[in-house]
Amino acid sequence: MSYGGDLSERALVLAPAGRDAAIAAAILKEAGVPALVCDTLDMLRERLGEGAGLAVVVEEALRDCDLTGLSAWIEAQPSWSDFPFVMLTQRGGSVERNPVAQRLSVTLGNVSFLERPFHPTTLVSAVRTALRGRRRQYEARERIEEIRRAEAMLERRVAERTAELEAANRQLASQIGEREKVESALRQAQRLEAVGQLTSGVAHDFNNLLTVILGNVEQMRKHADDPVLKRRLAMMSEASHRGARLTAQMLAFSRQQKLEPRPVDLNDTVLSMRDLLQSTIGGSVQIAAPRLADDLWPAMIDPTQIELVILNLAINARDAMEVGGSLTISTANVVLGEPDAPEAPPPGEYVMVSVGDTGSGMTDEVRARAFEPFFTTKEVGKGSGLGLSQVFGLAKQSGGGLGLETDVGRGTTIKVFLPRANEAPVGQVAEAGAAPMAPGDHLMVLVVDDDDAVREVTAGLLVDLGYNVIEAGSGGAALDLIERHQISAVVLDFAMPGMNGADLARELRARQPRVPILFATGYADAEALMKVGDHQIVHKPFVQAELARKLSRSFAAA
């Protein structure tokens, strides 16, 4: 059904006599309104289907007609359409008393009545009024359609924007979650780093104290005859050595120990430790057959330190299990992506060795502090809390990291990730020990240490060894003495205020390039001494035999 173009502006005229219809059509055409005469009601319905703006109907033409078809056409019109009819009635006929007019009003709906005879302008005015009303219906329809299109577009945009906002919210929630995870990991890493720095400083000072204690105990034992005194000095010596091992664990956490990494086959390491592990953890815990990976890559690690790591983890696992528990050691080649925890290594290829138990597992609170030094859930006297922190420190210093999987009541697995070595493992070559050089009266050793007690103990040990000794408490004093004395060797504390050991060593070598230098360190300086040969380092606390051996080797290497 078409309502567009000129057809929507034309008037259809239906009259029982052609003359009346022709007159009405002529009047309308003269007024500029397109008009078409319809001879029958069927023709009217047909032309209405083609399109029209209104219909002018003479009363007599519809008096005895069946209006069912016309009524059906009107009912089929869209809701916005109210097609107008202009009915020409008899003169003096009252619409209220005219049954045809009443029937048409009910049937056709939008009907206006014009009494005959009428002036032409009256007909034209009535028709134009009806056409204006019809045009407004079209305009209203267009507005409704525009509103509908706008509503549809708005709904579509709202839906699209809602979807965008939902996606943005999901992304934001994910970013917030990731940020919280990163911030949590950063806080944990910063806490571990701060504790590591504190631990390093404490261990360095503690080693100085132990050097004084151990050195004096050793000197006193040489002159003690009383068995009770000897026993007590032996207890003090053993306690000092235990303190030294404790500081070594602390420094492992702070990654300040001196390592000698080389390619290692971890499968061989695990197999060689089976008897040691069994004797260490006892018979209350079963050691399952190790799960060793085929074609395992070589790992770059200090072989002695990785054995201590595995032993530490096995002891921790034993302590977490009741009688009848099971311990499993595994190895594997792994490729890791971005780390999800501060103890995890950066992306890359790693060789993994893991120790798993069937013990009590860890709660979230314990898991968050598992690698902090001195944190332990064991009873007082049952552990120092340095086991996992030492493992963590070694793994990080070696360029790797750790992974931790735990489930309360079901057990814990610690995974140690070590860098993949580019070379195959080689057998360890026994280091040829230098024959101790017997000191003579002509050998003068300069001892440089800012700690008076450490300096005095070191000088006393060297004097007992037969060396001539002069002492300096600072780098400036040492440079003054080396100008006024014939120095054969220097025992030099690395960490000193002002001119530290490295600065003083450079100055000494510039003035006396052939004088051997032995660095005495409390481990906190190990990173700065990485390029110094082991024969040039003596670790505090040291005993006289170790000092003698290292000094003798320094003379031999000079």
- Of residues 99 and 345, the one with the higher pLDDT is 345
Helical (H) or strand (E) element with 287: strand 285-287
Residues 6 or more apart from 135 whose CB is under 8 A from it? 53
Which residue from 354, 323, 351, 349 is spatially nearest to 336, judged by alpha carbons?
Answer: 349
Q: What tokens does 327 get? A: 């311990």
Label residue 504 exposed, middle or buried (CB < 10 Å: 0-12, 13-18, 19+).
buried
Measured in degrees and rounded to the nearest 5, phi and psi for residue 334 equal -135, 150
Q: Which residues contact 513 (CB under 8 A, 6 or more apart)?
A: none
Tokens of 410: 């079901």
Q: What is the pLDDT of residues 211-270, one digit of tens each?
A: 888 788 878 887 788 888 878 888 887 777 767 766 665 555 444 455 678 899 999 989
Burial profile 430-445: b = 16 or more Cβ within 10 angstroms, e = fewer: eeeeeeeeebeeebbb
In which band, very low, low, confident or very high, does the pLDDT at 374 lie, cut at 50, 70 and 90?
A: low
- Residue 519's H or E segment, with its range, is strand 517-521
Mean confidence (pLDDT) of the chain: 80
H or E element in which residue 482 lies: helix 475-484
Q: Select from 335, 336, 326, 343 the least CA-distant residue to 291.
A: 326
Q: pLDDT-derived band of residue 274, with 50, 70 and 90 as boundaries? A: confident
What pLDDT does residue 377 have?
63
Record the tokens describing residue 543, joined without a space: 């005993």
Q: Mind listing the pLDDT tens digit for each residue in 410-419?
A: 899 999 999 9
471 Cβ neighbours under 8 A, 6+ residues apart: 446, 447, 448, 449, 455, 456, 459
Rounded to an integer, what distance in angstroms lies between the CA atom of residue 457 and that of residue 215?
Answer: 6
Does the pLDDT of residue 191 top 80, yes or no?
A: no
Q: Which of 103, 140, 123 is nearest to 20 (CA)?
A: 123
Q: What is the pLDDT of residues 390-430, one digit of tens each?
A: 788 788 888 899 998 988 888 999 999 999 998 887 654 33
**Highest mean pLDDT (candidates 86-95, 400-409, 440-449):** 400-409
Query: Please, are residues 271 and 310 in contact by the beta-carbon 8 Å criterion?
Result: no
Side chain identity, residue 484? R
| Domains observed in the chain | 5-118 (3.40.50.2300), 262-419 (3.30.565.10), 444-557 (3.40.50.2300)
β-strands 489-493, 444-448: how paired? parallel
**Residue 163 backbone class (left: φ over 0; alpha: ψ -120 to 50; beta: rest):** alpha
